[in-house]
Amino acid sequence: MNWFTDKLNVKFDFNLELPHFGKKTNAVLGIDITTTVVKLLELSKRGNHYKVESYMVAPLPRDAVVDKQLTNVEIIGEAIKKAVERSGTNLKQAAVAVGGSSVITKLITLPAGLTDDEMVEQIMIEAEQYIPFSIDEVNFDFQLEGINEIDSKRVDVLLAASRKENVEDRVSALEIAGLTAKVVDIEAFTIENAFVLLANQLPYSVENKTIVVIEIGATLTTLHVLYNSRAIYTREQNFGGKQLTEDIQRAYGLSYDEAGVSKKLGGLPDNYESDVLEPFKRNMVQQIQRSIQFFVASNASRPIDSVILAGGCASIAGVDNLVSQTLGVPTYIANPFVNMDFSSRVNPKNLGKDAPAMLIACGLALRSFDNDQN
């Protein structure tokens, strides 16, 4: 990987080459900053076996993050700091991700045989064609993908860019928490990283298979399509657990915060499941079905082999069966921590509840082992 336009000394990257795991400086905390919470995850590895060393989820106030944009860096930084303190981790380097419309990716082709400097110069020229902002306003990076399948005299290069403030705000939030940004990644590729752990749990090889990972968060549902374990398609739509909170709020005359607590802890009236939860589940399945239809419409030659549900809403009982019945394909709930060990600092029961929502944090924490050949 070649790095450039890196004035912050932060690597905005897909495949950062880290030294072999074992020294303290190699490991990074996976920090996932979402609309409602900050998620922290630390992993270690011995051979091919992973261990969860620390994990924590800290709440964020409403509107601290809007449409993937950090609107209150100070508050977010303090939330990360609390998560770090409560988790008991000693790590000081972290990996974070940017996503959504703030990120632009494009596969381009260049002549093979260019030197590093020549490739950087050529990509700078190419980038101006695809990035709808001034080059001075973005952090961008590239990764050499290999020889082009059509023309062996050219190579495929994956270009990625994000507005500088999206990167800088995350770096600043980490600094407030006493952490250093080691990696700034892209959400879609963190899902690809974490998918390695999910693929091992499927009852068949994922070679030549099309797997859909659907992440239903607080405000967004994101469709990630992977073929041969590589991300090939991503689509977002506005739908998430916030809608269920608002449904509870309207149905029972609660404040938004009261509805959120009741959704999490229970204690709602007996008609909650039939009158509120079931309609929400049906709506969620319709949203999932619509997202998949968009993909299938443009990729009819790629039938869907399985669906994996992720995000907070994936923990709703029975939603996997409902999706499977509606779509007619096997559906699973994401849990990247199956077969992992846990340190004494980690509550396995709590982590099990949060597991479907930890994919991005997990994909980021796995960056600790990018150069691990074990």
Is residue 16 predicted with pLDDT exceeding 50?
no
User: Which of 128-142, 189-203, 220-234, 337-351 comes out lowest in average pLDDT?
Assistant: 128-142
Identify the band that residue 17 occupies on the pLDDT scale cut at 50, 70 and 90. very low
Phi and psi at 51, nearest 5°, equal: -135, 135
Mean pLDDT of 79-95: 96
State the pLDDT at residue 96. Answer: 95
Mean pLDDT of 20-47: 81
State the pLDDT at residue 372. Answer: 64
**Domain range annotation of the chain:** 1-200+335-374, 202-333
Query: CA–CA separation, 234 vs 232, rounded Å?
Result: 7
- Selection from 1, 18, 4 nearest residue 364 by Cα: 18
Please state whether beta strands 220-227 and 331-333 pair in parallel, antiparallel, or not at all (unpaired): unpaired
Mean pLDDT of 13-42: 68
User: Which of 32-41, 97-106, 302-311 comes out lowest in average pLDDT?
Assistant: 97-106
**Residue in this structure with the two tokens 């001075």, named with its chain if needed:** 136
Identify the band that residue 40 occupies on the pLDDT scale cut at 50, 70 and 90. very high
Matching fold, domains 1-200+335-374 and 202-333: yes
State the pLDDT at residue 161. Answer: 83
- Kindly report, residue by residue over 255-290, the tens digit of the pLDDT: 999 999 999 888 899 999 999 999 999 999 999 999
State the pLDDT at residue 299. Answer: 79
State the pLDDT at residue 20. Answer: 26
360, two tokens: 């991005």
| Percent over 70 (pLDDT), the chain | 92
Is residue 103 predicted with pLDDT exceeding 90?
no
Is residue 13 predicted with pLDDT exceeding 70?
no
Identify the band that residue 231 occupies on the pLDDT scale cut at 50, 70 and 90. confident
Is residue 18 predicted with pLDDT exceeding 50?
no
Is residue 160 predicted with pLDDT exceeding 80?
yes
* Topology adopted by domain 202-333: Nucleotidyltransferase; domain 5 (3.30.420)
- Kindly report, residue by residue over 166-211, the tens digit of the pLDDT: 899 999 999 999 999 999 998 988 999 999 999 988 999 999 999 9
Mean pLDDT of 218-246: 92
State the pLDDT at residue 140. Answer: 77
Mean pLDDT, all residues of the chain:
87
Domain 1-200+335-374, architecture per CATH: 2-Layer Sandwich (3.30)
State the burial class of residue 188 (Cβ atoms within 10 Å of its Cβ: 0-12, 13-18, 19+).
buried
Enter the pTM of the model.
0.87
